[in-house]
């Protein structure tokens, strides 16, 4: 089967993105496709697979997202921006309500965060803070800046569902080995977290500036995770580190976004939705293999605009 896709990224979180509105695949085939296309050792690579899917009476279109291990995620906010941009492009619109796996989000085009950088604003929530919604078994009703009994790490965490599960802790400096150790423990589906969780270590670098490093469920240590950045913005407000309604700049290894936690626990994220190239590949589901990748259209100007923005961020860091 010939599959066309856009190689895209949001804040460095990169994906193959498929217009799947007229594509019919079984659930096992989608999982296989995600593992093949998002394999870092393969010819495409990515942090997961995105699909633009049909909407309904409320939603102009929908998004599905699979992690690189083939598991489906409830949401992916960096991916949502990219998928929303494609939806806007093919439908000729500038804003929409987008259907996600278990929730809904608003998305709209926004003024560029840097010259030549396509920018999308998303609004998600209300988001949950009940431990049961985060998937914590046997925990108190809420975990807000508190140690979690049974977790093999003594730090104080805030647990939020975006709606995918997140554990967020604020640190003086990110220790990647510590983060990977805890994230790997969560990946083993312990009794405390049978559905696993995303884990983020967050440095507050100023009154309204955060740096986020995340071990992403089903992916591993990643340069960027949109829902983790949103969870970090919400956690900063919930713990009194940044007031609700205050714009925040959120940095990660992949770039940056603008964020804001609303009083009703919805979160606004504005960031890039960069299309790097349009490509196609032959997929053999019977053998689980990919053919050669063909580039149909390069988007050199978009890549150059993003690289220029990153260079500017490094100069001011």
Give catalytic residues, as residue numbers: 76, 225
Give the up-direction half-sphere exposure of residue 123: CA atoms within 13 A in the CB hemisphere: 13
CA distances from 120 to 12, 79, 110 (A): 15, 11, 5
Euclidean distance between CA atoms 204 and 74, whole angstroms: 27
Euclidean distance between CA atoms 293 and 275, whole angstroms: 17
The residues facing 206 across adjacent strands are 209
Q: Which two tokens stand for residue 55?
A: 């909407």
Say if residue 280 is preceded by a cis peptide, omega within 30 of 0: no
Is the alpha carbon torsion for 293, 295, 301, 302 positive or negative? negative
Residue 244, phi-psi category: left (phi > 0), alpha (psi -120 to 50), beta (remainder)? beta
Q: Which two tokens stand for residue 164?
A: 């995918």
Helix, strand, or coil (residue 277): strand
């Amino acid at each position: 089967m010939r599959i066309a896709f856009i190689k895209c990224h949001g804040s460095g979180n990169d994906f193959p993105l498929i217009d799947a509105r007229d594509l019919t695949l079984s659930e096992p085939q989608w999982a296989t496709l995600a593992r093949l296309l998002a394999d870092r050792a393969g010819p495409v690579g990515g942090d997961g697979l995105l699909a633009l899917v049909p909407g309904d009476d409320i939603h102009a279109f929908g998004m599905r997202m699979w992690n690189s291990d083939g598991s489906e995620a409830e949401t992916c906010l960096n991916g949502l921006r990219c998928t929303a941009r494609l939806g806007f492009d093919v439908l000729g619109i500038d804003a929409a309500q987008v259907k996600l796996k278990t929730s809904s989000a608003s998305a709209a085009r926004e003024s560029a965060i840097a010259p030549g950088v396509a920018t999308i604003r998303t609004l998600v929530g209300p988001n949950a803070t009940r431990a049961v919604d985060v998937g914590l078994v046997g925990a108190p009703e809420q975990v807000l800046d508190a140690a979690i009994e049974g977790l093999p790490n003594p730090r104080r965490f805030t647990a939020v569902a975006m709606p995918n599960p997140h554990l967020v802790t604020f640190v003086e400096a990110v220790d990647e080995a510590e983060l990977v150790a805890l994230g790997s423990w969560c990946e083993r589906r312990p009794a405390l977290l049978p559905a696993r969780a995303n884990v983020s270590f967050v440095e507050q670098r100023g009154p309204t500036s955060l740096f986020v490093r995340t071990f992403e469920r089903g992916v591993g240590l990643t340069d960027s995770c949109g829902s983790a950045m949103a969870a970090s913005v919400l956690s900063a407000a919930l713990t009194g580190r940044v007031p609700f309604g205050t714009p925040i700049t959120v940095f990660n290894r992949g770039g940056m976004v603008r964020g804001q936690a609303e009083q009703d626990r919805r979160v606004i994220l504005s960031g890039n939705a960069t299309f790097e190239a349009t490509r196609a590949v032959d997929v053999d589901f019977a053998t689980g293999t990919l053919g050669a990748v063909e580039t149909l259209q390069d988007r050199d100007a978009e890549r150059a605009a993003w690289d220029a923005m990153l260079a500017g961020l490094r100069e001011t860091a």
